[in-house]
Structure 1
Amino acid sequence: MNGALLPEATRDRFHLPPDAIYLKSHSVGCQPRTAEALLRDKLLVPWRETGEAWPHWLDAIDEWRAALAGLIGVEARDLCPAANVSAGLSRYISALGQATERRTILLAPSAFPTIGYLASGLAAAGWKTRYLPDAADVRDPANWAAALDDDVALVIAMHVSSNSGALTDMAAIAAAAKAAGARCIADCAQSVGVVPVTPASWGVDAVLGTSVKWLCGGPGAGWLWVAPHDRTALLPVERGWWSHENPFEMDIRDFRYAPDARRWWGGTPDVAPFILSTTGIEEIAAIGVDAVRAHNRALQALLRDALEARTPQWRWPAGAIGGTLCIDTGTDQPRVAALLAENQLRADFRGTILRLSFHAYNSVADVEAVVAVLS
């Protein structure tokens, strides 16, 4: 087990909050120490020295696309920057209306709420939202297959659930969707950076992600990956001048889609979030996602071994989980929350469910501190 742990020096790659133990990477990942310098060199210095710095800024976004493509094993041209998961999903769905006559979106009730809000908001455009049964295990592809029919256009599945930590078999869900004639999109906001994300091997049609959590890149740098088979097949209705083949052509009567995923880009892009995101991606890539995952699992196991037998009244997760250990503390929740706050252990709750996330910068000492407080 100890062989899976990362060197203690890994912590030095990140700014950690002083006088606290940070266990909320499922919410916001800690800032890489390289972030400030890269933001200065890639955004502020070119702006200061050239005024109109777009060539430099666009190079920085290309570097971001290349870094993320390398991390998840895809082609950079199939990645499109997005402000957040909601924006990426909205633009993706805007292309489906012309590509299929089906009008049902299938998701789980445990999906992150923004997914449901967006999907249900499309009712005026003729879209319907269907949910798996509340008690259905999202990890079982049979539950997804049972909910599919000839009106389902899109299946949206979380790779890792933010409520339970459940880790789904994306390849199996994508296969079920394909067999039913539907597309499948993977929401990897809670997995990328701590669990291997491999769109090409999954067979999904698209992937949504964000940099703010396990990628340690801050907010504002979401992304949409679209599979090569849909690279030019889908025509998003939501578009802007940066969706154009040549944004600087400036002929208002002649729109031509970009020949790659940039067709989903929209209007004038933000640059700073993607420079910051690059620092996080580069740090995670340097450490290695597999190494982060092994470290995370080792720390989860240490905590579980120390506490599970002492807390029989709690419900510990069963089955495959991602980077977040979600423990239902039941009626103990107020006491547990108070103990964590009193001892500067930064975790959070979804109702009675305690969420603890161990990243590359967490250590055995962090686990021991949690055990000492909660036991």
Structure 2
Amino acid sequence: MSGYFLYHSIGMFPQKQERISEALGAFAASWGSIDDAQWGYALGKQAEFLEDWRALLNARPGSIAQVESVTAALYQVLRGLPESTVRGGKVLIAADCFPSLHFLLAELVARMGGTLVTVAPAPGEAWVSDARMVQHWDRDVRVAILTWVTSTSSHRSDVARLVAHGHEMGTICGVDVTQGIGILPYDVTQVGADFTIGSSLKWLCGVSGAAVIHSSEALMGRCLPELRGWFSQTNPFNWDLDAFAFAPDARKFGNGTPSVLPAIGSLPGLSFVRETGVAALSRDNAGKVAQLAEWVMGSALRLVSSPRAEQRGGGLMVELPETLEGAAVVETLKAQALYADVRGQILRLSPGIITTRESITRLTESLAGLLGQKTEV
């Protein structure tokens, strides 16, 4: 797997298969035991998962809840806010957001009586710039969903600046950290967003179904989630049908019986990131991305990501010429044990800790060969 460039899709780390197998095997042993300790074990592991996320975000205790996906996280927050929050106002999002969030908002905002404003990149630009977002952001924007690092260009927004502007406009600000968390440092106390959503699947090397919501204290007090259940309470074993009460912390974002298995399956990846250190992983990645970027800028490929490292996440996206079919390029690379993907003509390359410098050289040589062959034809 030294030729793995897919961290924007699924993160990898040394001995991932063995460590996840060990974690799931321990769960199976507990869950299959003929005793009454199963839930104590499972919920204890979920608590470890939440603590790892809390530490990565530098968040206060009790401010993070597990959800199935970033889409579900956004739904929980928006449908938990008072109905007057969105009605008659705007919800703002960039066109290069994770598409699933836009799919949700396209219907949900209309049902809530608001208008969805989708900000497109400026002509000739590959991503929605911070300036472009501010240009469309007035006092009618009630909620804004910000993407820290995009999956299409690896553009990194100055989310602290955008959140500060949003608060001046009276906007509730949320940040999707999925494509940056684990490879870049992030501090919710510095960014100041009202809520943060993210997945464990990418640079955190986890599994699907292990997303989170982080909420500020102020937003926590305003949210009464529509989707609720016995695990939304301080005491899940309160079964008095007339005495339901939300937990005072992030547990209120829970609902029915929690899905603990994804949290347990993600713990090895989270542990690896914390043990190795985000700073060390970031340095390793930055050197590899710089090596790729240097070659791309001297090639016939167009760099889609920013040439400036401080404006990029952990990936590098390039545009293939029309003479090369994207899917065919991916298959050619795969035959050489080089793993990347495409979105249309955009080749996405995200090297991580298991990606070697030698494999980067092999990748660039392979791409140069493809470009040369097409040029000769």
Fold agreement, TM-score > 0.5: yes
Match of 1:219 among 177, 183, 208: 208
Paired with 2:279 and 2:84, the residues of 1 have a C-alpha distance of 37
Q: 1:170-198, CA deviations, whole angstroms, 9 ceiling, x for partnerless residues? A: 10110111010001111111111111122
Candidates 130, 137, 157, aligned match of 2:146: 157
Residue 121 of structure 2 corresponds to residue 134 of structure 1: yes
Query: Paired residue for 2:289?
Result: 300
User: Does 1:356 find its partner at 2:349?
Assistant: yes
For 2:323 and 2:304, locate their aligned partners in 1 and report how far apart those are by CA, in whole Å. 14
SS in 2 for 1:49: coil
What does residue range 160-175 of structure 1 map to in structure 2 within 5 Å?
A: 160-175=149-164
| Matches of 1:332 and 1:223, distance apart in 2 | 42
Aligned ranges for residues 178-327 of structure 1 at < 5 Å? 178-311=167-300, 313-318=301-306, 319=308, 320-327=311-318
Q: For 1:177 and 1:89, locate their aligned partners in 2 and report how far apart those are by CA, in whole Å.
A: 18
- Checking the alignment, whether the CA contact within 8 Å between 2:90 and 2:141 is kept in structure 1 is yes
Amino acid at match of 1:25: Y
In the alignment, the residues of structure 2 paired with residue 37 and residue 142 of structure 1 have an alpha-carbon distance, to the nearest angstrom, of 47
Amino acid aligned to 1:321: R
1:97 CA displacement: 3.0
In the alignment, which residue of structure 1 is the partner of 2:319?
328
What letter is aligned with 1:364?
R
Query: SS where residue 40 of structure 2 aligns?
Result: helix
Q: TM-score scaled by structure 2?
A: 0.89
Query: Amino acid of the residue matched to residue 73 of structure 1?
Result: N
Cα displacement (A) at 1:51 = 4.7
Q: Deviations over 1:291-340 (max 9, x none)?
A: 111111100111222342132x5234224110110011131442633431
Which one of 90, 102, 105 corresponds to residue 119 of structure 1?
105
Which of 127-136 and 344-353 deviates more? 127-136
In structure 2, relative to structure 1, the CA distance for the partners of 1:99 and 1:69 (3 Å cut) is farther
Q: CA deviation at 1:148?
A: 2.0
Partner of residue 12, structure 2: 30
Q: State the secondary structure of the residue aligned to 1:76.
A: coil
1:46 matched to which residue of 2? 30
Contact 1:159/1:186, CA 8 A, preserved across alignment: yes
* One-letter amino acid of the structure 2 residue matched with residue 317 of structure 1: S
CA contact (8 A) 2:179 2:202 kept: yes
Amino acid at match of 2:207: G
Amino acid at match of 1:194: I
Amino acid at match of 1:315: L
Conserved 8 A contact 1:139-1:167: no
Q: Distance in 1 between the 2:366 and 2:332 partners? A: 7
The runs of 5 or more residues in structure 1 that have no matched partner are 1-15
What amino acid is the match of 2:318?
Answer: I
TM-score by length of 1: 0.89
Q: Specify the alignment match of 1:105 in structure 2.
A: 91
Query: Conserved in 2, the CA contact under 8 Å of 1:64 and 1:278?
Result: yes
Q: Which is further off, 233-242 or 361-370?
A: 233-242
Contact 1:38 1:275 in 2 (8 A): yes
Contact 1:65 1:76 in 2 (8 A): no
Aligned residue type for 1:183: I
User: In the alignment, is the contact (CA less than 8 A) between 1:324 and 1:358 conserved in 2?
Assistant: yes
% identical equivalent positions: 28
- Paired residues of 2:82 and 2:223 also in contact (CA < 8 A): no
Return closer, same or farther for 1:369/1:176 CA change in 2, 3 Å cut-off: same
Q: In the superposition, relative to structure 1, how do residues 278 and 75 fare at CA in structure 2: closer, same or farther (>3 Å)?
A: farther
Q: Matched residues in 2 for 1:242 and 1:50: separation?
A: 24
Query: Which 10-residue stretch deviates more, 27-36 or 346-355?
Result: 27-36
Displacement, 1:85?
0.7
Aligned equivalent of 2:374: none
Q: Distance in 1 between matches of 2:323 and 2:8?
A: 22
Which moved further from structure 2: 31-40 or 292-301? 31-40
Structure 2 unaligned residues grouped into runs of 5+: 369-377
SS at match of 2:174: strand
Q: Which moved more, 1:80-89 or 1:327-336?
A: 327-336
| Counterpart position of 2:54 | 69
- Number of paired residues? 355
Q: Give SS of 1:245's match.
A: coil
Q: Which residue of 2 aligns with 1:6?
A: none
- CA separation in 1, counterparts of 2:164 and 2:216? 14
Aligned to 2:42: 57
Q: Is the 8 A contact 1:98 1:235 kept in 2?
A: no
Residue 268 of structure 2: SS of its match in structure 1? helix
- Residues of 2 paired with 1:236 and 1:132: CA distance? 28
Query: Matched residue of 1:254: which SS?
Result: coil
